[in-house]
Amino acid sequence: MADSGGEMGEGLRYGDLLNPVFQELLLAKLARDQDFLARARAIVQPRYFNALGHQALCEALFAFWDRHQRIPPPQAWLVAACQAGEALGLPPLQVETIWDGLVDTPDDALPRDFLAEQAVGFAQRAEAALAVGTAYQELRGFDLGELTAELRRILELPARFLTFGLDLRRDWAAQLAWDERELFPTGLAGMDTMMRGALRAGELCSILAPKKTGKTIWLLNIAVSLMQLGFHVLYYTLEMYPKDIARRMISILTGVPTNQLPQEPTAEMIRAVDALHEYTPGQLVVKELLPGPDTTVAVVESHALQVMQTTGVPHVIVCDYADLLAPSDRRLQEWNALYEIYQHSRALARRLGVPFITAQQTNAGGFNAPILSASHQSGSTKKSFVVEYLWGIEQSPEDYQLSRCTLRLLDSRHARKHGVVHYFVKYDTGQIQEVDAARYQARTASTTAA
């Protein structure tokens, strides 16, 4: 040990473990260790980091420690740091200390919490370097909002490991209490009943229907109803012009057919809209997003965060439609790209603490199907793997003539599938009315008799 200390010249103080330069040298040496390097490579790739976090890095740190227990650990770390400095051609650390004073340092002197924090910092830098490097390589096409969201995620990574998780044997009694997540009832009683009374923060809900059967009508009614119930809503339109969406919302609120809306507000319309101030603080914002290779879920998140930070309140996200968003990886095949979009949409709902509500079109098999199923999703049936509630709008040609339709729960993590709710639809105003089965069938009987 004396020889090793002599080679180090003046040596290092144990307190210099807190020296930023020393920390970098130490981590540089660890990065040259094959076991450490193998673990680091496994987690700095974006697709692996979320799953493994910084734990593998910490394990590598401690494994390196354990391999050098034959000498006092502080000396092992100091030797490693100096060797790393020499190998990398860095200037020597100028410190004043006595090497022999470290010989009796106890094995547990180095704080493992400190080392873990350094490992997290190392992993964050590696992740950030990859994210920025990827953007640099695609300088003419990378998504600034997506890069911002990725860097924000990297900065928040250490907080994900503050707890080991839920200990069932210790914490089981506390789990009996009602779900603490905020509830977001849609105001459509039949739907809410089948969704445990309301959507919850972080849940993804999708409405499946053939072309031209009212997907947008349902999204509009849910958005307006949420606003009337006092919630704030962000409505993203990727298909229709935002003014057309706003006009349809006005029709739902006032009962005036969309095609008959006057160019100037009438007294009746003013009273209908002003009445909102008397019973709801809810706001409804319509934002147009143009479909394209850069319009990803990260763009939605960037806008939503800006709105929420400005207003100070969460906003339910209604996206018309999520299938028109672009995947973050343009090389993915369509089925996998759509699955990724839904995964990211659900993750966004979790991060923002609000529901994410969208709609999708059926494949060719669902166009004339009397009863829809999850297999009728276009592009990828895997989308239903990540949604909490998948609804289907069923409407035969006769139903369309009678202005009615059936909403069926096709898939759910929390409720029995294939429950149905019946509705009458006013296509001129976009308003819907829930009815029971008897009244639903009576409209058929009365029409036939007439």
From 123-137, 165-179, 377-391, the region with the lowest mean pLDDT? 123-137
Cα–Cα distances in Å, from 87 out to 3, 76, 80, 81, 93?
Answer: 19, 16, 10, 10, 14
CATH superfamily of 183-449: P-loop containing nucleotide triphosphate hydrolases (3.40.50.300)
From 69-78, 279-288, 379-388, 441-450, the region with the lowest mean pLDDT? 69-78
DSSP bridge partners of 389 = 205, 412
Report which of residues 77 and 354 the model is more confident about. 354
Whole-number pLDDT of residue 117:
56
SS3 58: helix
pLDDT band at 342 (very low <50, low <70, confident <90, very high): very high
CA–CA separation, 288 and 304 (whole Å): 13
Residue 405 has pLDDT above 90, yes or no: yes
pLDDT, tens digit, 9 for 90 and up, residues 234-290: 999 999 999 999 999 999 999 999 999 999 999 999 998 888 988 899 999 999 999
CA–CA separation, 115 and 427 (whole Å): 64
In the predicted model, what is the mean pLDDT of residues 175-191?
89
Residues of the chain with CATH 3.40.50.300: 183-449
Cα–Cα distances in Å, from 365 out to 240, 392, 407?
Answer: 25, 14, 18
pLDDT, tens digit, 9 for 90 and up, residues 5-49: 323 233 334 344 444 444 444 554 454 445 544 444 444 444 443
Average pLDDT of the chain? 76
Whole-number pLDDT of residue 17:
41
Residue 368 has pLDDT above 90, yes or no: no
pLDDT, tens digit, 9 for 90 and up, residues 296-312: 898 898 899 889 888 88
